[in-house]
Structure 1
Amino acid sequence: MSAAQELLEAVRAGRRDDVPALVKGLDPAGRKAALAELKELRKELRGWDWDRWQERRHISRALLVAGAGCHTGAAAASAWIGARDLRDWERLPTGMLLDLLADRETGWLGDVAHRLAGRAATAEEDYPLIHELVRLSGCAVPVTDGYVHGWTDAVAQGDIRAALRSDPYVRALVPRLFETTELPTTLTWRSDDWQAGLVALADEGVVERAVLVDACVARLLRGAKPGAVRFFLDLLRQLRLTADEERARTADWMGMAADGPSTVAAHAQEVLGRLSEAGDLSARELAEVSGAVLFRTEKKLVRAQLVLVGKALRRGGADAADELLPAIAEAFGHPDTGVQERVLKLVARHLSDVDEDTRAGLAEAAVLLGPAHRAAAAELFGEVFSEVFPADGEAEPYEELLPPAPQDRRVAPAADGLPELVEDVAVLLKSGDDVIGVERALDGLVRYAYRDREALREALLPLVADLWWYGRDSQFMQHLQPLDIVVGTVVGKVTSGHLHAALRAEPAHDCVHRALDRLPLVRAQEAALAVLKGKAPHLLAVPTWHTGAVDPGELVERLRGYEQLGVAPGDIDFAQALLRVRRSGPEAARAAEDAARLGTPTGERLARWLTAQELWAPAVRGVAEGQAPVDDWFRWTRLLPRRIVLATGRDPGALRDFPPAFRVLESTPSDDGRRCYHWSGANPHWTAVLPEDRERLATWLLPLAAAATDDLRGGTSLLAPLAEAGGEPGPALHLALATGLGARYAEDRLVAVDALLVLAARGELDAARLGGDLAELVRLGTVKPNRLADSVRTAAATGAYATTWAVLASALPGMVDGGEPVRGLGEILAVAADCVERCGAVPAHDPHGPVSHGSVPHGPVPGLDALAARRGSSQLVTQAKRLARALARTTDSPAHPVEQSTPETTESSH
């Protein structure tokens, strides 16, 4: 047996410890011959099934060492050593590899070291080998992110300060700590030791102090995750910058104050304050940074900046006032009226220090003030203010701005030509998130298969060759999506046996959400069987409009097409069509008559469905006291909060004739989350299952809208589609909307605000109902006042002040009257006061129009006067007084006229 064969045999047996000696016994020609065999073995391992994973693991470990020793090129050797498939998630055998590679040329070793350090996926865990290669070769130390992370891990194994002092590469590696994309984890969990070690390096002159200071400042300016910001800010403080060091970086502090995270901005403000007091910060520089800081969302920073400006104004006199007053006057338009008031007082205090031109400019800026401060501005600026802002009697009528009321967009018919159909299918197979697009494609596949299934098969075969399921065994069926099921059937991969077995399977409906997930699958399975039998000319439930709804007249014509061919439609497809058909309006009444005249069982069922008065049992409302742990594996992370829940009994006969897959829709899911894994997020096709029964769907989705209670993301994702869907917008929809307005994350609250505005634009918002729900949810603790304040502030800022006030006017009595006000109520009162000051509280448009089903409440709010009569200057008391004054003005004098205005709506596409 040759030496190369002996090596290969040892590798196949997984005897890694024998490999180094066998490789050393090979001459260059022998290593080259062995390498070819090793490469073939590596290809062979890639094709092994998972049941041989242990054998493959042992062989791979030996193969890694053998290949590293046999490669002669640095690039090929480093690629072999860094390959994931050879190491099987284990660390490299550093000792063995060094034993094999130590006799190579130093240049070769350095090249391999740098190539391994450049592999982002493995450089950190390969640090021990790379470090030794660097030491042996004497090359420059690599400074890649992975190598730096590995270096910090090695340093943190013992005394960090001592390790840094003795490390010969510390001058090159320390600056890279501030430049890596992610902060090394050891700097977070041993931050005190690292900071002390780095400060010691600067004090002892091992690393230049200016390098550390500049690196900290640069990283804080660049931005980072909170943990990294904390580390570098603490390090910067421990370096204790001198006055000269702070002065030399004035522009950096200005940038941090304007755009940095709140903790960084606060530190920068402190430095700028010291520079200002020392006369090292000019009035122009302070004005420049103030213009940015005063519009930050952190109130503490805004107040601190105004204090800083006030001190500078007292020190600087007229010269400072000419620079600073115009800069802070921009904050007259700040969304917080408290900030507006502070700025106005500061301007008033120093107005005498400016000339007439500057005074006129300040008066022009004062038009940005909210109505609450305009009287004070008029008194301060006199005729100059009156010239740019008319008296109340001459004010423009208030105009409510709402988004365009969404119009139904007609869905284009399925592609009729084969090339267009195949192109659509190819796109959707890669990304099937387009619910309506998938529906169109399914209908197109069914229609074309009815005409020429063989031609369709030939056209689809090139698309499926690289799909994950095409080369799998029969177990793949349970993981297919609707479009894959029909395509797989057409190309012969999915058989009638697969489809019958799937349809016969007992549905595991732990919750209604899983039933909603399964309905598109069983409908696709039924359609696929019809394709095999050649008996489906088209699908019945293909949406007519973008919401998923089906036009009743079109559904009658589709049934007529089946009747003319003498073919019975699929039970599941017909059931889904019934759930999607629009049942309101004169078109539905005419369609019911036409359906009855078909004289078929399906026609009679459609006629009864279209004329049914009530399909679903009403929801029963209750309060779940909560605080009981969920009885499943998730209980250790979640406690259910106190909240409003909806439940229904089984509906009498609504789905009596429906297939079994639909029966679970007769009842509401458990309100405590048991047996339901849909804690957050929702499948976008759920709204397409019941596009004309959004109240029922909202009842099912209420646990998912509890992003307010469980602090989960994505719980409001379907609120916007529900706002555009059909059916009565009743208690369940408004309760889901109220909960969504208190969601934990801003992006989820924004979705809820959009839904609110859409309902208002469509004239479907019941402001009294929504306001009552909000008051109850706040009292229960489900919705936190600060989150609600952010939502209503956002809604009002779009120009919908009357709509927002209509909601708050119904919510505030439940929050203000009867007991101690909830914490954070002052923010909500501030939004309410702003709305009343702008819209006048009394609607002039149709009381049944876009703002509310009922008139907008106006006049006193029960309990508000008692709040306003309290002593103190807290936000709660201040805003209560402000709202009370605004309401009194609207009661004592005619309200501002209100005009309803929405942008031009787009016509529905046909």
Structure 2
Amino acid sequence: MSELMTAVRESRAHELPALLARMDTAQRRAALVELKALRKEKRGWSWDSQRKVIKPLLVAGAGCHTGAAACATWIAGRDLLGWDRPPFALVVAAMADRDPEWLGDVAHRLAARPTTAEITYDLISRLVRKSQCAVPTTEGFVRGWLQTVSSHQWQRKKREPFIDMLRADPFAPVLLPRIFEVQELPSQMLWAYETDDERRWDVTLASLPEAGLLERPALVDGCVTRLLRGGKPGEQRFFLSTLRLLALTEQEEAERIPDWVGMASDAMSTVAAHAQQVLGRLDECGRLSVRTLAEMSGAVLFRTEKKLVRSQLVLLGKALRRDPSAADELLPVVVGAFEHEDIDVRERALKLVGRHLPAAGAGVREELALSASLLGPAHRALVAEVFGTSAAGEPEAEEYEEVLPPAPVARRLDPAPVSLPELVEDVVVLGRASAPEVPVFERVLDGLVRHAHTDRSALVGALRDALTGQWWMTGGSGEGDLPHWSVRQFRAAEGIEPVLAVLLGYLSPQVVADELAAWTGTGSCVHDSLQGVSRARVWDAADAVLTGDRPFLVATPTWHTGSLDPAVLVERLREYRRLGLRPGQTDFAQALLRVRRRGQDGAAAEAESLGTPEGERLAAWLRADEPLAEVHRFDLEKKVRRRQTVERTHRILLATKERPFVKEVLPRSFHWLGQARIPTHSPCYHWDARQEIWTAVLPEDAETLAAWLLPHAANDVVEEIENDIRSLTLLTELDGPAGEALHLTLAYELGARYPEDRLAAVDALLILATQQRLDPALLGDRISVLLGHGLIKPNRLADSVRTAALTGAYRTVLSVLTGVLPGVLAHEKAPRGAGDLLGVAAECVEHCGTTGAGDIPGLAETAARGGSSQLVRQAKRLAEAWKAGVAGK
């Protein structure tokens, strides 16, 4: 046993199987006690020291356990699996003397662990082969197998069929059917191969029936089931490709009609298009009933994809030509297309109804006429042609009223928890939150400082019991002796952990002093610098609870946005003066950045009357009443990298000028705020940061923040990266003027690739309009510039403004588009999607009128062009509506 422990501590894992073979059961059990003690001991070591014993601990522990359940638990420990490749061959060798049934039990117990089964696949597969037990079919084991065979598949030659390797794999017959049950396929299965590459997974799956590895009905059902279930686009395309390669017969397709209907109704567009094609073929063959066609059409015609809706209208037209008697059942579902956002789709639906209306009964004709009468003015002539003049009706002379959402209301923060139990409860809740809100964080931080000042011992006792088991409480004794790696983690912490660790004695006063001195306010990017302010505040609060000499924090915001009422700040400073104390430098600097400055002459006089240095600085700050930094335009040109020419798209960005006053009022660690900032193309890696922190640091300087955050937002839009742009919505909720930086950011985001990002931009647009802070001319000009440089696409912008208009903000959207359209129409060849923009503008005019605006340059010339393109048709529609001055519904 002594030799075993020595080998473990000296990281001689390769010697362990031989040493274990010489030990009996009693010796192994005794050794296991020491191994467990060593495993616990290593948690306080540095990472490099831990790495040396992880592998031998894993091997030795596996060989010393006599129970299968305990052995599986030991092997699956995440602290033993580590980052390096585990020595599974040595683990199997360490258990060489166990009977096959025991080994099989361990294998199945490992396979049943969802968090580690995939990682330990290699070990499980070795145990399965050695014990000859049944092959596990759990999710983790299947994914591990798929990853392994996919890696081997990639190493094969291009023309070498992958199916040959699967034929030789003893696990394949059992695990191949499970592919369709796995929640998420390994990424290796979805790698793109050339069309004629025999290593492709979809080609291989389609050949399984011929190879005798999987029955064809099971394969077809598996693909159909996965397509019905939905999932990530890559997986959906994979199973759709496999299904197409199977080339289903007419009988196989007819047996699954309900499945195709479900896909056409709800699946992603490519899958829905395939299902629509299948149903179209079945309808032509007479295998699709009229009722089923009506059910399918009712769902598809409500989809937003124009191509799918147009194809469905064509399908309905063919069915009605073959069987006019089906008009009473099929024509009513066409009403769904009357509500489509695209005017061309609505016109196609009306014309389809007009062609087959004579075959419909009186009741159906009346129902269709009623639905058509609700269409907008653009369709009035066509409705009259189809149903008669009475159905078209006359426009009601009703004054248009803009509909905007209610303006966000600033919410006052609740005071810090007064009672100790309430504070402890909030601390625990805050520690469990993955992204705690700023108001909660601020209340708890202030509460800790207050209670540390009044009764530190009671606070420490309550927290010690409530926080048992925290990661930073397992590596030290509570006497300021945390291991070095733990201290490094604290430096990156954005929560209250450093404050708690100081209170409970896990961080020494020297560490706090070092961190306070180390903060210089600089970072790798503006995001890092902004988050650094929050981290500096946490360490400042840690110093406050360490000394207990501060009764509260002066920078705790008054409102949820992070803003601070100047009268409240004056009262806090007055209380500090009464107690003969001074607030912390970092705390007071953050308070200055948060205090409302506009029109605060009275508060400035009150602050000056305090007669303290902080009062004088606050008075000077309030009277200056200037932006933190002046924003100005700054365009970046194309750049060339070494060894590789990269055509960097010309981006429109903003810079900020130097503000010397900041250096006079704020401490050294905040001087970076007053430095001139020039934007760069280089992206940073803070996409997952808590964006609420950024706005809470500078809640009174939305323009400055917008200019600093613009390069990141612009990069995501131009490079078509999905982005969580909560910062844009947060910026619009802040008080103060909205200038070019905020409008330019909004212009970029309205053209984002992903619908979720565009929807957030629409929310920001409507909030600014509600607050009367939106400058439509400025926004239209910035959008026009971005379109001119190709930085955003017209069709995506059209989707955003259409969404905004449909909320009832037609006049707001039109006022923006009148500044955008001249630049779009000036192109000799209009960009793709320009017709969509004209269509949105036309719909706005039809609802709210022209509002007395002048003509749109280039519109008349575009409308006068020949042809029937979407651009020309929408230009004519807009020109006619503009000329008529259509007003209201």
Same fold flag (TM > 0.5):
yes
Alignment check: 8 A CA contact 2:61 2:74 kept: yes
Other structure's SS at 1:873 match: coil
Q: Provide the residue aligned with 2:726 in structure 1.
A: 717
Residue 741 of structure 1, CA deviation: 1.5
Q: Provide closer, same or farther for how the CA distance between residues 368 and 47 of structure 1 changes in structure 2, counting only shifts above 3 A.
A: farther
Q: Pick from 208, 212, 230 the counterpart of residue 219 of structure 2.
A: 212
Q: Pick from 37, 56, 60 the counterpart of residue 63 of structure 1.
A: 60
Q: 1:360, 1:443 → 2: CA distance?
A: 68
Q: Provide the residue aligned with 1:651 in structure 2.
A: 659
Residue 727 of structure 1, CA deviation: 1.8
Alignment check: 8 A CA contact 1:60 1:87 kept: no
Q: Provide the residue aligned with 2:460 in structure 1.
A: 457
Q: Provide the residue aligned with 1:445 in structure 2.
A: 448
- Note the aligned Cα RMSD (angstroms): 3.3
Q: Does 1:614 align with 2:626?
A: yes
Q: Provide closer, same or farther for how the CA distance between residues 238 and 485 of structure 1 changes in structure 2, counting only shifts above 3 A.
A: closer
Q: Pick from 297, 302, 308 the counterpart of residue 309 of structure 2.
A: 302
Q: Does 1:862 align with 2:857?
A: yes
Q: 1:569, 1:219 → 2: CA distance?
A: 62
Alignment check: 8 A CA contact 1:680 1:713 kept: no
Moved more, 809-818 or 567-576: 567-576
Residue 675 of structure 1, CA deviation: 9.3
Q: Provide the residue aligned with 2:673 in structure 1.
A: 665
Q: 2:529, 2:675 → 1: CA distance?
A: 11
TM-score (norm 1): 0.86
Q: 1:371, 1:776 → 2: CA distance?
A: 32
Q: 1:85, 1:581 → 2: CA distance?
A: 47
Q: Provide the residue aligned with 1:507 in structure 2.
A: 520
Q: How does 1:523-534 map to 2 (within 5 A)?
A: 523-534=537-548
Give the partner amino acid of 2:877.
Answer: R
Q: Provide closer, same or farther for how the CA distance between residues 624 and 325 of structure 1 changes in structure 2, counting only shifts above 3 A.
A: same
Q: How does 1:161-560 map to 2 (within 5 A)?
A: 161-165=163-167, 171-184=173-186, 187-189=189-191, 192-193=198-199, 194-203=201-210, 207-317=214-324, 319-382=325-388, 385=391, 390-392=393-395, 394-431=396-433, 433-470=436-473, 471=476, 472-473=482-483, 475-476=487-488, 478-481=491-494, 483-505=496-518, 507=520, 509-510=522-523, 511-560=525-574
Q: Provide closer, same or farther for how the CA distance between residues 604 and 819 of structure 1 changes in structure 2, counting only shifts above 3 A.
A: farther
**1:18-59 deviations in whole A, cap 9, x for unaligned?**
655665566xxx324423423532441442223434641552
Residue 184 of structure 1, CA deviation: 4.8
Alignment check: 8 A CA contact 1:63 1:86 kept: no
Residue 725 of structure 1, CA deviation: 0.9
Give the partner amino acid of 2:825.
Answer: V
Q: How does 1:806-885 map to 2 (within 5 A)?
A: 806-817=815-826, 819-842=828-851, 858-885=853-880
**1:488-510 deviations in whole A, cap 9, x for unaligned?**
44444445433333333261614
Q: How does 1:138-153 map to 2 (within 5 A)?
A: 139-152=133-146, 153=148
Q: Pick from 589, 609, 612 the counterpart of residue 575 of structure 1.
A: 589
Q: Provide the residue aligned with 1:846 in structure 2.
A: none
Q: Provide closer, same or farther for how the CA distance between residues 437 and 234 of structure 1 changes in structure 2, counting only shifts above 3 A.
A: closer
Q: Provide the residue aligned with 2:479 in structure 1.
A: none
**1:733-790 deviations in whole A, cap 9, x for unaligned?**
2112212222233222222211111111111111111111111111112222222122
Q: 1:779, 1:96 → 2: CA distance?
A: 64
Q: 2:747, 2:446 → 1: CA distance?
A: 38
Name the % identity: 49
Q: 2:451, 2:39 → 1: CA distance?
A: 44
Q: 1:772, 1:307 → 2: CA distance?
A: 41
Other structure's SS at 1:656 match: helix
Across the two proteins, how many residue pairs are aligned to each other?
Answer: 859
Other structure's SS at 1:398 match: coil
Q: Provide the residue aligned with 1:733 in structure 2.
A: 742
Q: Does 1:753 align with 2:762?
A: yes
Q: Provide closer, same or farther for how the CA distance between residues 444 and 806 of structure 1 changes in structure 2, counting only shifts above 3 A.
A: same
Q: Provide the residue aligned with 2:703 in structure 1.
A: 695
Q: 1:162, 1:724 → 2: CA distance?
A: 62
**1:499-525 deviations in whole A, cap 9, x for unaligned?**
333333261614443332222333344
Q: Provide closer, same or farther for how the CA distance between residues 211 and 583 of structure 1 changes in structure 2, counting only shifts above 3 A.
A: same
**1:625-676 deviations in whole A, cap 9, x for unaligned?**
23445x9xxx999974312122233124244122112211113433114596
Q: 1:548, 1:584 → 2: CA distance?
A: 16
Q: Provide the residue aligned with 2:609 in structure 1.
A: 597
Q: How does 1:48-197 map to 2 (within 5 A)?
A: 48=42, 49=45, 50-53=47-50, 55-57=52-54, 59-60=56-57, 62-63=59-60, 66-67=63-64, 71=66, 73-80=67-74, 82-83=76-77, 85=79, 89-90=84-85, 93-94=88-89, 97=92, 101=96, 104=99, 107-124=101-118, 130=124, 134=128, 139-152=133-146, 153-154=148-149, 159-165=161-167, 171-184=173-186, 187-189=189-191, 192-193=198-199, 194-197=201-204
Q: Provide closer, same or farther for how the CA distance between residues 757 and 150 of structure 1 changes in structure 2, counting only shifts above 3 A.
A: closer
Q: 2:373, 2:39 → 1: CA distance?
A: 76
Q: 2:202, 2:693 → 1: CA distance?
A: 52
Q: 2:595, 2:295 → 1: CA distance?
A: 60
Give the partner amino acid of 1:595.
Answer: A
Structure 2 gaps, min length 5? 477-481
Moved more, 471-480 or 703-712: 471-480
**1:510-542 deviations in whole A, cap 9, x for unaligned?**
444333222233334444444555543333222
Residue 710 of structure 1, CA deviation: 3.7
**1:169-226 deviations in whole A, cap 9, x for unaligned?**
6554332222222235564457844555544442466643222222222222122333
Residue 572 of structure 1, CA deviation: 3.2
**1:277-321 deviations in whole A, cap 9, x for unaligned?**
11111121111111111222322222211111111111011x221
Give the partner amino acid of 2:603.
Answer: A
Structure 1 gaps, min length 5? 843-856, 898-910
